[in-house]
Structure formats: structure tokens, C-alpha cells
Amino acid sequence: MRHDHLITAKQLSREDIETVLDHAAEIADDPAAYGDRHAGTLLGLLFFEPSTRTKMSFETAMKRLGGDVVDMGSVESSSVKKGESLADTARVIEGYADALVLRHPSQGAAKMVSEFVDVPLLNAGDGAGHHPTQTLLDLYTMRETAGLDGLTVGIMGDLKYGRTVHSLSYALTNFDVQQHFISPKSLQLPRNVRYDLHETGAMVKEHTDLEGILPSLDVLYVTRIQRERFPDENEYRKVAGQYSIGLEALEPAKDDLVVMHPLPRVDEIDPEIDDTHYANYFEQAHNGVPVRMALLDLMLGGEL
Ligand code: NCD
């Protein structure tokens, strides 16, 4: 299927995902071979929310393909401050760039903008909605470490507001993967996501404790409580600090458990895990570059 834009992981078939991951693996093997591939191409960066990894890895990816970026910069220094609408901002920047990457605090923002622009638009996070490019690097990391089919995956933390979780859970339904969701009751999956997952016939279970399910997991994907999305700070305080793991908590786990996290972490994973064989989150972040190179190459070439 040909995609004009990448808005949600729901639009990606297994074949689409494998095309991106295979291409990312080719690029990771010989990145220099792609150094001139998109010389002269400009990627427009529209980030209305903080970002380190996503923005910098998109920028690195575009530059490693021989292109460059034009960056709207911070909201504070842009015309958004003067009251310009998101649609207008995007329509202007599409005139400067060959593709756009958008991160925005409002759920549905990327979908809305995609109706106004003709160049490829990549959703880099829309509020508590979706984050499909993160999902591609998550899947790449899983495939490299644990293999993708026949897996039992635990996804723990803020499942309500965590957009990486929503995108990942949709994408995993394309594979033979059992999904276990671990969270406090107040941060369980949104009803619509749960409904969609059940509709696909995916093997999905929800838990409030990690302990019981941990020994059967091949991958544990830990997420940050999304403090900035809580309408009430008191509600955040009730759940802050819960669902953090240290080395001792991992004792009952399989020896080859892969621990992942989209980062940034706050206190969900004790740094004592960082130097153990469980930790894969820094490699996961590094994989953002070959995966985004692959995605940009395929989308700019009209091959995805
Ligand atoms: C995530 C995001 O922005 O949703 N970060 C990222 O892109 N790696 C996760 C988070 O902020 O918790």
C-alpha cells in the first residue's frame, strides 16, 4: 500500500512494517552507502512539544541521507506566538520542505494537518494519540533482540496517556505476539484502543501487578507516567513512583528478558539495570537513526 502520510500505526500492515525494518537493517549494515541518497532534500521540523530523541534522530537521519532540515524552532520564537493556526504554519513550511515531521500536544493534530498538506507528513507524536515512528524503532529493536514472532510482551506504566503504547500495541497485532498490559487501574488502556485490539483478535490481557506475569515475558516495555497530560496534579501524585523496577524485581524474569523504554525515563527503571544484559533502551534510542533513515528514504521515494 502506498502511504501519503504516516499518522498512526494502524495504517501499517505487516508487509509495510517488514519493508521498513528490512531496509533499516540494510542501512545499519552500510550507512555510508546512503550518504548522497537524498542530497538537496529538506525535511521540515514542526515540534510544538519538547523532544530530544525524536527530533535529533530525524535530523540525523535526514543529514545522513545527504539532506538537511529546516526547523520551526521553539513555539516561543515562532509566529504561533502571534496566533497563527497550526494549519497555516504547516501550509507555509510545506512550501520550504520536501516532507514534514510534526509533534503536537493535541491528539488528532497530525491527522488534521495531513488534510492540508501535499508533502509527506510524519506524525512524531500527537498528544496522547499515536507515535508511529517510535513504534517502528521499537519493533526493529525487538526483532534484533528477541525476534518478533512467538513473543510474549509486557507493556507497563502509563497505558492511558502513553502514545508510544497505543501505536506499539496496534502494530504488534500484525505479529504472533501475546500482549500483557500492566498498569494501575486509573492508567489502563483507553477504551477505544482496547476495543480495537480485541477486534483484531489479538491475545491481550490486562494486569495491575507485574509480579505474576513477569516470568513468562520475553520483552518488558516500560513507560513513563505522562505527567504533562494529567488534568489534575493530585491524580498524578497518586500513581507517581509506582511501577518502577530495580534489579531485584527482575529476579523471577527469564534470563534473556529484554527491557525496553522509549525514554525519557524518570524513575521507572533503576539505573542499576543499565549495565546488565536486560537493558536495551539506549540501543533502542540509537536505532531511531537507521529506522528513520529507512522510513524517509521509502516515503520520499514513494515506495511505502
Ligand atoms: C516518548 C513520547 O514523546 O511520547 N518519547 C519519545 O519520543 N521517545 C515517550 C515519553 O515522552 O514518555
Summarize pLDDT for 163-195 with one digit per residue, the tens. Answer: 999 999 999 999 999 999 999 999 999 999 999
Is the shortest distance between the CB of 44 and ligand 1 below 6 Å? no
| Residue % of the chain over a pLDDT of 90 | 93
Catalytic-labelled residue, pool 8, 41, 54, 135: 54
Tell me, what's the pLDDT at 160? 98
Instruction: State residue 78's pLDDT score.
Output: 80
Where does residue 78 fall: left (phi above 0), alpha (psi -120 to 50 degrees), or beta otherwise? beta
Residue 238 appears among annotated catalytic residues: no
Answer whether residue 77 shows pLDDT above 80.
Answer: no
The pLDDT score that the predictor gives to residue 23 is 98
pLDDT, one tens digit per residue, over 194-246 is: 999 999 999 899 999 999 999 999 999 999 999 999 999 999 999 998 899 99
pLDDT at residue 273, rounded to an integer: 98
Q: What is the pLDDT of residues 100-156, one digit of tens each?
A: 999 999 999 999 999 999 999 999 999 999 999 999 999 999 999 999 989 999 999
The pLDDT assigned to 2 comes to: 76
Q: Are 262 and 282 in contact (CB under 8 A)?
A: no
- Distance, CA of 197 to CA of 166 (rounded, Å): 10
Ligand 1 lined by 224 (C-beta under 6 Å): yes
Q: Is 60 a catalytic residue?
A: no
Q: Are 121 and 99 contacting, i.e. CB atoms less than 8 angstroms apart?
A: yes
pLDDT at 1 over 70: no
Residue 251 cell numbers, joined:
529476579
What's the CA-to-centroid distance between 262 and ligand 1, angstroms? Answer: 6
Q: State residue 75's pLDDT score.
A: 84
What's the pTM? 0.97
Mean pLDDT of 71-99: 90
- For the chain, what is the mean pLDDT? 96
pLDDT confidence tier of residue 292, bands split at 50, 70 and 90: very high
Q: Which domains occur in the chain, in start order? A: 9-130+287-300 (3.40.50.1370), 133-285 (3.40.50.1370)
pLDDT of 255 > 70? The answer is yes
> How far is the centre of ligand 1, averaged over its atoms, from the C-alpha of 280 (Å)?
16
Q: What does 96-144 look like in DSSP terms, one character per residue?
A: T-SEEEEEESSTTHHHHHHTT--S-EEEEEETTS--HHHHHHHHHHHHH
Q: What pLDDT does residue 74 have?
A: 86
